[in-house]
Structure 1
Amino acid sequence: MKIPPTKGPLMARSIATNTAVDLTELLDFVRPRHRFLLATTRRDGRPQLSPVSGGVDDAGRLVISSYPGRAKAVNAERDPRVSVCVLSDDWNGPWVQVDGDAEVVQMPEAEDALVDYFRCIAGEHPDWDEYRAAMRLQNKSLIRITPTRWGPIATGGFPADVAARLDP
């Protein structure tokens, strides 16, 4: 059965893909992407989702800056099992879900790790002393996530069997 278009001109039909990757390929995929959705678990067992900026540190952990009292940090300290959906800048770009174990690092131990976090997202800061002072003043913390499993790198689109039934 052919499925007719709903309205407007026909668009190219993209077919969804899923590409299995090893840890090295996963981290290579994540490094240039900084839009994450972090899922932690609330006390009542329901998910807490937080849109965050993130990166990958030199040890291969996903890193996210936070404040000690934020739900994501409190939840991750209570239950370190977290998930991160790493999105591409382009809404229709590839994405991946990473599950892992979180560690929340507080000041003063977080200071050097926050420098590494900034570098992996934005490069060099024009004044590291100023940056460090701001992180101390804000009492920032860092969430580090060690990947334990991950899904395939996925792209959106039609399932192949549906795309085949659509008008060309």
Structure 2
Amino acid sequence: MATLSEQQRGLLDSANYATVATLTKDGSPQTSVVWIKRDGDDVLFSTVVGRAKEVHLKRDPRVSITVINKDNPYQYTEFRGDASLTTEGGDELINELSHKYLGKDYPGDVGTDNVRVIVRVQVAKTTGNV
């Protein structure tokens, strides 16, 4: 497990968007932009049961997350590691992330059957320019 620097922690703690890369069944990468949160030196993001990220990570937990500083796009860090998934606390996390990024409760799952998943990435390696 990697120990993050104060600069890397600051990058995660700010409202910077992240790009998550997971592996499809044939090994090709699939990327998507997500909201993130730091818990200690782990990186958390939210998805929904049945979406590509959740399906891919259940099959292969390897993941890469790149976070770019919104104020200076030449400052970034890639966080690589293995993901674990749980539905426990999923609704709370997406609401917390919505407050971080939008400043209000998350409106997206209202009136749906979506089951929220917390993806916790235990960071094994970091690279980048922070």
Fold conserved between structures, TM > 0.5: yes
Tell me which residue corresponds to 1:149: 125
Tell me which residue corresponds to 1:39: 21
**CA drift at 1:142:** 1.4
**CA drift at 1:31:** 1.1
Query: Does the residue aligned with 2:54 lie in a helix, a strand or coil?
Result: helix
Q: Larger Rg: 1 or 2?
A: 1
Query: Does the residue aligned with 1:23 lie in a helix, a strand or coil?
Result: coil
Query: Which sections of structure 1, spanning at least 5 residues, go unmatched?
Result: 1-21, 155-168
In the alignment, which of 11, 17, 35 is matched to residue 29 of structure 1?
Answer: 11
Count of residues in Structure 1 that have an aligned counterpart in Structure 2? 125
Give % identity: 25
Higher helix proportion (structure 1 or 2): 1
Q: 1:89 to 1:121 in 2, by over 3 A?
A: farther
Distance in 1 (CA, whole Å) between partners of 2:45 and 2:31 is: 13
**CA drift at 1:121:** 5.9
Give the TM-score, by structure 1 length. 0.61
**CA drift at 1:113:** 5.0
Distance in 2 (CA, whole Å) between partners of 1:150 and 1:89 is: 19
Tell me which residue corresponds to 2:73: 92
| Deviant stretches of 4+, over 4 Å | 133-137
Query: Which sections of structure 2, spanning at least 5 residues, go unmatched?
Result: none
**CA drift at 1:36:** 0.6
Higher strand proportion (structure 1 or 2): 2
In the alignment, which of 48, 57, 71 is matched to residue 30 of structure 2?
Answer: 48
**CA drift at 1:89:** 1.9
Distance in 2 (CA, whole Å) between partners of 1:34 and 1:104 is: 22
